[in-house]
Amino acid sequence: MLVGCQAKTGINHFFVTHFAGQAGFKSYLCLSLRYLPLGPPGKGNGMSALVEEVVCPSCWGEFDPADGVWISRHPGLMGDVRLGPDAQERFQPSRFDARGFPLDARGQACSEVACPHCHLALPRYFLEMRPLFVSVVGAPASGKSYFLGAAIHQLRSVSGERFKLGMLDADPERNALILDYERALFQQRDLDSPLDVAELIRKTQYGANAAGTFAAVRHGGLLLHRPRPFSYRLETKSGHPAHLEQTDDPNNQKVNRILCVYDNAGESYLPTRQDPHAEEVTAHLAQARFILFVFDPLQDRRFLNEVEQVKGPMPPPKQITGQYEVLAEAARRVHQLRSGDRGAWPPLLILVSKWDAWHQLLPGVDMSEPLRQGSRAPVAGLDVERIESASDQLRTLLLRLCPNLVQTAEAIGHEVRYLPVSALGKTPETRPGMNRPAGPSGEKGLPVEFIRPRDIRPTWVTVPFLYGMARFVSKLVPKAERKLEPKEKQVAIEKSNPPPVPSIQETSPKPRPPAKAAVKPIEFDFDPEDLK
C-alpha cells in the first residue's frame, strides 16, 4: 500500500510501506521522524540521524524512536491517561500528511513527540543525540542557584570560543528558570547600583510550589512525580577535532550530547521523610554521569573560625543546615536506586563555594582559567593536571577543617574531587546599621549584603562541568597534557616497568627487554609542544 510520496527540492524521498505487520508500519514512522522538514536539504543542513535508542530524561525509560507517542494539536482532543484531563491526548499515529507529519484523530498535523512510558513531551533533539545527565545537589542556602546561573552563563561562551562546542537551549520554555538566574546576575541595566544579594535570585521552590521542576504522571494507579531537567544541546562546531560537516552522519551521535541538568531545592534531600515525593523527584541521582555537590564552608563553624582568624569578623551565615546529612542522604538514595551496587556510584565532585571569602586559606592554588591554547591547535585543552592538583590541596585543607565532609564523600564515592568555586567572584559588602528584620525569637537580624553587578566575576564555575565532560564523556572536551622533561620521562618509564623479582630457582638474571615509554593516550590530535 502506497501511503505517501514527497518530492523535495534537490532530493526525492518516497515514503512507501506495505502494512505487513508492525515492522512495515514502524519503517514508515521512522521515515516520518527521519525526514520531518528541518530546512532545505544539502550539506550540513536539513537532515539529522536518529539515535538507535531514546532515553527519556524524566522517567529514564528507553524506547525506539518509532515507538514514541505524538501529542495531538486539535483543542477538542483533551485528556490523557497519564497526565490527566488538562493535557493534550497522546496517540500512536496511523495517518500522515504529504509532508510526513502524523495526523491526530481530528486531522491536525502534529510535530511534538512524547515518551511512550510517562507521556511527557520530549524536545526532538532527544531523538537525535544521546543524553548526558548531571545532578546538582546541595543543602538549603548552599548557593546552588547562584552557581547554576553563573555556570550556565559562562559555559555558553567558553564552550563555543575555546572548545568549538556549541551550547544552545534544547527547551527554552523549560529552561526559563535558569535564564532568569542569568538575567539577574549578568543583565542588570544599572551596573553600579548595589543590589541585595539575598533578593538577586529567588530560592528554589519546594514541594507543591515547585511544580516547574517536576511533572505529575499517573502510572499503575499511582501518582508519580517525575523530575524535569534543564536541557542544552552540546554540538561540535567547525574546528573541533571530532566535528563532522554532515549532520546526518551517525558518528555525530557519538560526540554530540543533550546536557540534562537536574536541580532540586535543598529540602528535597533532607532525611526527614516529610515529603513523600522527595525520593521520586531526586531519582535522577542514580542516572547521573557525575554528581556536583555544592558545599558552603562558611556554614561550618570550624571553617568559619579559621577564616575569621585571617580576615577578621565575618557576617554569620544566614542559615546553618546539615550539609553532611544531605550528602549522606543522597548517597543512601543512590545506593537504594542502584540496588546496593557501590561500584556503580557516579563520580562525585565537591564544589566548595564562596572561594572569594576564604581564598587566603589556599594561597598556592592557581585560580586562573585552567585552559591551554596551542599555537596550531584550533581548540583549547583542559588542564586536568592543574585541576587535580588544586583538588589535592583543597582536600588537605578540608581534611583538617571539615573532616566529616571528606570522610562521608570518600566513603560513598569511588572517585571524588574537590573544586573551589565562586559564583559572584567577590565577597558582598555590608553596611553598618542595615540589618534584616529580627527573627521570630527576637534575635538580631542578619546584616544585609550588597554587590554591584559590575563586580560579579564568577571564578571556576565552568570547571566542574568541563572537568566532568573531559574525564567521563569521550571526545567532548579535549584534555591538555604537559610535555614531560627527559628526567620525568625516565621516572615514568621506571614506574611503569618495575624490575622483576627473581625467583629462588634463578641462578643468573635473565636479560630484561628494552623498556617502552608509557605514553598516556591523548584525547585529540594535539602537539604536546603547543600545549606546553
Question: What pLDDT is recorded for position 276?
Answer: 62
Q: What's the CA gap between 177 and 252, in Å, rounded?
A: 30
The yes-or-no verdict on residue 23 having pLDDT over 90 is no
Q: What pLDDT score does 503 carry?
A: 39
Output the nine-digit C-alpha cell for 303.
Answer: 571553617
CA distance 61 to 120: 11
Which segment, 150-164, 306-320, 430-444, is predicted with the most confidence on average?
Answer: 150-164
Range of the domain at 15: 6-127
Q: What percentage of residues in the chain have a pLDDT greater than 90? A: 45
Query: Residue 521 phi/psi, 5° resolution?
Result: -65, 140
Whether residue 335 lies inside any domain: the answer is yes
**Predicted local confidence at residue 280, as pLDDT:** 79
Please report the beta strands in 369-428, taking only residues with DSSP state E, as ranges in sequence order. Answer: 371-373, 380-382, 416-420
Residue 492 located in a structural domain: no
Average pLDDT over residues 394-413: 92
The CA distance from 326 to 495, in Å, is 40
Closest-CA residue to 8 (of 95, 103, 99): 99
Residue range 83-88: average pLDDT?
A: 93
14 pLDDT above the threshold of 60: no
Q: State the number of CA atoms in the 13 A half-sphere of 487 facing the CB.
A: 0
pLDDT band, residue 126 (cuts 50/70/90): very high
Quick check: helix, strand or coil at residue 149? helix
What's the pLDDT band for 414 if we cut at 50, 70, 90? confident
Average pLDDT of span 240-246: 74
User: 171 and 89, same structural domain?
Assistant: no
Tell me the pLDDT band of 227, cut-offs 50, 70 and 90. confident
336 occurs within a structural domain: yes
Residue 529 lies in a domain: no
Say whether pLDDT at 55 is over 80: yes
pLDDT surpassing 50 at residue 21: no
Q: Judge whether residue 22 has pLDDT over 50.
A: no
Is the same domain home to 94 and 208? no
The pLDDT of residue 62 is: 93
d(Cα 532, Cα 523) in Å, to the nearest integer?
16
Q: Using CA atoms, how far apart are residues 133 and 231, in angstroms rounded to an integer?
A: 9
Lowest mean pLDDT among 154-163, 227-236, 337-346: 337-346
* Rounded CA separation 243/231 (Å): 21
The pLDDT, as a whole number, for residue 388 is 96
pLDDT exceeds cutoff 80 at 511: no
Residues 474 and 155: their CA atoms lie apart, in Å, by 18
Which pLDDT belongs to residue 469? 94
pLDDT band per the 50, 70, 90 thresholds, residue 443: low
Res 6 pLDDT > 70? no
The predicted structure's pLDDT at residue 483: 61
Give kind and range of the element (H or E) at residue 330: helix 323-337
Q: Do 176 and 41 lie in a common domain?
A: no
Residues 326 and 203 in one domain: yes
- Per-residue confidence (pLDDT) for residue 178, from 0 to 100: 92
Q: What is the pLDDT of residue 185?
A: 94
Q: Tally Cβ neighbours within 10 Å of residue 372.
A: 21
- Give the helix/strand (H/E) hosting 329: helix 323-337
Half-sphere exposure of 154 (CA within 13 A, CB side): 24
How do strand 348-352 and strand 447-451 relate by DSSP bridges?
unpaired
Note the pLDDT of residue 219.
79
Considering only 53-57, 321-325, 518-522, which range has the smallest mean pLDDT? 518-522
> Which has more confidence, 50 or 392?
392
User: Mean pLDDT, to the nearest integer, of 341-368?
Assistant: 89
Nine cell digits for residue 463: 570547571
Report the relative pairing of strands 90-91 and 69-71 from DSSP bridges. Answer: antiparallel
Domain boundary among 74, 94, 127: 127
For residues 156-184, give the mean pLDDT: 91
Q: Which residue has the higher pLDDT, 224 or 500?
A: 224
pLDDT score of 434 more than 50? yes
pLDDT of residue 8: 37
Q: Which residues pair with 65 in a beta bridge?
A: none
pLDDT interval class at 40 (50, 70, 90)? very low
Q: What is the mean pLDDT of the chain?
A: 79
Q: Among 10-19, 83-92, 234-243, 482-491, name the most confident range.
A: 83-92
Evaluate whether residue 484 is within a structural domain: no
CA 184 – CA 148 distance, rounded (Å): 12
* Structural contact between residues 114 and 68, judged by C-beta atoms closer than 8 angstroms: yes
Task: Say if 120 falls within a structural domain.
Answer: yes
CB 59 within 8 A of CB 126: no
pLDDT band at 336 (very low <50, low <70, confident <90, very high): confident
Residue where one domain finishes, among candidates 127, 160, 180: 127
Residue 357 scores a pLDDT above 60: yes
Q: Among 86-95, 106-115, 333-342, 515-524, name the one with the lowest average pLDDT.
A: 515-524
Please tell me the total count of domains within the chain.
Answer: 2
State the average pLDDT over residues 140-153.
92
Put residue 529 in one of left, alpha, beta given phi > 0 → left and psi -120 to 50 → alpha. alpha
Is there a single domain that holds both residue 65 and residue 153? Answer: no
pLDDT surpasses 60 at 196 = yes
Contact status, residue 460 vs residue 421, Cβ threshold 8 Å? yes
Evaluate if residue 190 carries a pLDDT over 80: yes
Of the residues 66, 98, 127, which one is the last residue of a structural domain? 127
Q: 423 or 274: which carries more pLDDT confidence? A: 423
**pLDDT score for 153:** 96
Three-state secondary-structure class, residue 61: coil
Question: Same structural domain for residues 38 and 146?
Answer: no
Going through 409-468 in order, the beta strands assigned E by DSSP cover 416-420, 429-435, 447-451
For residue 129, CA distances in Å to 164, 181, 332 come to 18, 26, 31
| Same domain for 181 and 122 | no
| Judgement on whether residues 10 and 159 belong to the same structural domain of the protein | no
Residues 277, 197, single domain; the answer is yes
The single-letter code of the amino acid at 344 is: A
- How far apart are alpha carbons 300 and 419 in whole angstroms? 17
Residues 334 and 462 in one domain: yes
| 292 and 412 in a common domain | yes
pLDDT winner (highest mean) among 45-49, 131-135, 263-267, 443-447: 131-135
Q: Is 373 inside any structural domain?
A: yes
Q: Give CA 87 to chain center in angstroms.
A: 29
Q: What is the pLDDT of residue 192?
A: 92
Specify the pLDDT at position 246: 54
In a domain, 526, yes or no: no
Residue 494 reports pLDDT greater than 70: no
In a shared domain, residues 135 and 80: no
Q: Which residues pair with residue 255 across a beta bridge? A: none
- Of 174 and 492, the one with more pLDDT: 174
Write the CA distances from 391 to 183, 365, 385, 448, 469, integer angstroms: 31, 9, 10, 32, 17
C-alpha cell at 317: 551565615
How far is Cα 263 from Cα 458, in angstroms, rounded to an integer?
Answer: 20
Residues of the chain with pLDDT > 70, as a percent, come to 73
